[in-house]
Structure 1
Amino acid sequence: MPEALSDAEITRALGGLARWRGDATHLSRTVRLPAQEHSTLIGLVQRDVADLSDHAQFERRPDELTFTVTTGRPGAVTAPDVWLAERIEAAIATLA
């Protein structure tokens, strides 16, 4: 099981992830995106996480999609969570 990141490590990781927010329990990002593009983005993210034990939860709202990245380890953010947030960000960039 991956080791939990310290608060300083999480802060440093968020510094490289513009528009992401988080704390010791999760990372999240809201994307303004037309509802008809939600499935495309979710599909891209699910493809990237297929081999990880991590997962990205998502919440759909009209013209908005929020991703929350949590580890299989409750109450902790780990290096794989940061990697997943980076992959989500890359997937978002492909839709721009």
Structure 2
Amino acid sequence: MAALLSPDEVSSALSELDGWTGDTTAISRTVTAPSFPAAIRLVVEVAEAAEDADHHPDIDIRWRTVTFALSTHSEGGVTAKDTALARRIDELASAHSAE
């Protein structure tokens, strides 16, 4: 079981994450990819990273716009699992921005 982050911990984590917003219930980020295929490649890479971490985001795809939402449902809010996956999503999104 992962411990819920406090409001201060979530705020601190968000200040270190690129483009993420949220609160203790969930964090999210929207990424605009250069093309629809690039958006799908990003989603596939995030899916693989999420599977490796055994922690899965909610993903919404609208053409080139992809929104990722993270919350540890079993705990009822944001945990370190969410901020770790957010960092990984940032890395992957950064790599796709140059496509």
TM-score, structure 1 as length reference: 0.91
Q: Secondary structure at the match of 1:75?
A: coil
**Structure 1: 4+ residue segments shifted above 4 A:** none
Classify the secondary structure of the residue corresponding to 2:28: strand
% same residue: 33
Q: Which residue of 2 aligns with 1:61?
A: 62
Moved more, 81-90 or 59-68: 59-68
How many residue pairs match? The answer is 96
The one-letter amino acid of 1:21's match is: T
RMSD across aligned positions (CA)? 1.3
Query: What is the SS of the residue equivalent to 1:94?
Result: helix
Amino acid at match of 1:7: P
Structure 1: unaligned runs, 5 residues or longer = none
> Are 1:54 and 1:80, in contact at CA under 8 Å, matched by a contact in 2?
yes
What's the CA shift for 1:72? 3.4
Q: Give the aligned partner of residue 90 of structure 1.
A: 91
Q: Extract unaligned runs of 5+ from structure 2.
A: none
TM score, norm. by length of structure 2? 0.88
